[in-house]
Amino acid sequence: MSMNRRSFIKLVGAGAGVMSWPSISSASDILPRTGRRVVVVGGGSGGAIVAKYLRIADPSIEVLLIESDKRYIACPLSNLVLAGVRTLEENTLTLDKMAAKHGVKLLYDTVTAVDAGAKKVICSAGAISYDKLVLSPGIDYRFEEIEGYNPATTPEIMPHAWKAGPQTLLLKRQLMDMMDGGVVVVTIPQAPFRCPPGPYERINMIALYLKRHKPKSKIIVWDANENIVAKAGLFRKGWTKYYGYDDKDSTKGMIAYHGNSKLTKVDAKAMAVDNGTELLKGDVINVIPPQRAGIIAQKASVVGPDKKWCSVDQVSFESTQVKDIHVIGDACFAGALPKSTYAANSEAKVCALNIAQTLNGKELIAPSHVNVCYSYITDKEAVSVSGIYIEKEGKTIAVPNAGGLSPDLNEIEASYARSWMQNVMSEMST
């Protein structure tokens, strides 16, 4: 069912050859309509699932999934690549099989504009109309908030590795090239950001690698938040147990953690970071930048006044700003739900069901969601936090006393994490 650009244009006929148009609204639709059409932009954790479940909910709905990349590299467990205990290939999947099986039309292309008035998206293949549009574009970065940060060059020197792929491998390479006794700096932005426990799991995996290969080295963490954002007690317990962490004396152990320490400036040439009061040099510097909704959400004018995230109705995931555009995954603000693959997957299913309900003139169904976030402490032990969420008076809230933290660090949590990852990747790709 997948189409490359050439076969897509061929498929839609000669009309598609007319590639210049005065505006999106007057551009003719390059894909002949077969009925009610939902276009999904982004085939990641949220997008692949919403496309698949729309077809499951109602096979009479035409679903077109547009994704930039032919191979999707999932972020969960990508921190393990840094410690050399997992490969990026194990995190990689393709969407073709899933699309063919469920009758999802798949186009590998990048959507560059949305005309909400004309209900069309535009990509290099041309303009495509929709009845409903779902955006699941993930994140973009607020680089401009860091003085001295050049988006074109700084990530090549101070990798963020906050989208799994070449950046992950670059950070790994830098760790491997660093001398024993070197300093690794990790900077964490103010929440909310993609994967609240992710930066702290990253610290564990860097520490695991250094403990095994470069034990004289140090990791200095600057966290813009007052404290570790998720599972704080369990992370500190893990750092103390395995990496000699001492809460009261940051000179001891491998990890020195500083809360309320917000990165304000970088000097890539000098390999230095600045938090307004201190200048810190590092041999490897992992700057995780502050984030916002993916670029296409900004272009579609569904990003809120804070210019960060998209406000949505928490039952249908329809934008509160633009009718018939739904936003799921990291790009949206989904109440108490975190920005995670687990949550994106759940939002996608709710969104698919409620779009099918709407297109069939039926009432929306109030959702409940589950989220579990696993974090590895070593290659063998992990911890988790879970929650159940419901919609109450228009807001997604965590159900009190449902879910909670894993009681301790243990091997069972690590095996749950691996099995969850296998399931989620299989659900996206088949």
Ligand X SMILES: Cc1cc2nc3c(=O)[nH]c(=O)nc-3n(C[C@H](O)[C@H](O)[C@H](O)COP(=O)(O)OP(=O)(O)OC[C@H]3O[C@@H](n4cnc5c(N)ncnc54)[C@H](O)[C@@H]3O)c2cc1C
List residues near ligand X by CB under 6 A: 41-47, 66-69, 72, 75-76, 78-79, 110-111, 136-138, 162, 194-195, 198, 294, 296, 329-331, 339-342, 344, 373-374
9 vs 128, beta carbon nearer ligand X: 128
45 vs 225, beta carbon nearer ligand X: 45
110 vs 240, beta carbon nearer ligand X: 110
What is the closest distance, in whole angstroms, from the C-beta atom of residue 229 to ligand X in the complex? 13
What is the closest distance, in whole angstroms, from the C-beta atom of residue 346 to ligand X in the complex? 10
Return d(Cα 424, Cα 74) in angstroms, integer: 10
Return d(Cα 3, Cα 182) in angstroms, integer: 48
What is the closest distance, in whole angstroms, from the C-beta atom of residue 134 to ligand X in the complex? 10
CA angle 103, 107, 108 (to 5 degrees): 135
Residue nearest to ligand X (CB): 44
- Residue 146, token pair as written in the block: 């860091």
- Is-contact 42 137, C-beta < 8 A? yes
Alpha helix (H) ranges present in 2-108?
A: 5-12, 47-57, 79-82, 96-102
Return d(Cα 348, Cα 52) in angstroms, integer: 9
What is the closest distance, in whole angstroms, from the C-beta atom of residue 323 to ligand X in the complex? 20
51 vs 61, beta carbon nearer ligand X: 51
- Residue 224, token pair as written in the block: 């813009």
What is the closest distance, in whole angstroms, from the C-beta atom of residue 424 to ligand X in the complex? 8
Which residue, among 58, 41, 37, 50, has the nearest Cα to 130 in the 3D structure? 37
What is the closest distance, in whole angstroms, from the C-beta atom of residue 120 to ligand X in the complex? 14
69 vs 177, beta carbon nearer ligand X: 69
Side-chain-side CA neighbours of 93 within 13 Å: the count stands at 23
DSSP letter, residue 282: -
16 vs 123, beta carbon nearer ligand X: 123
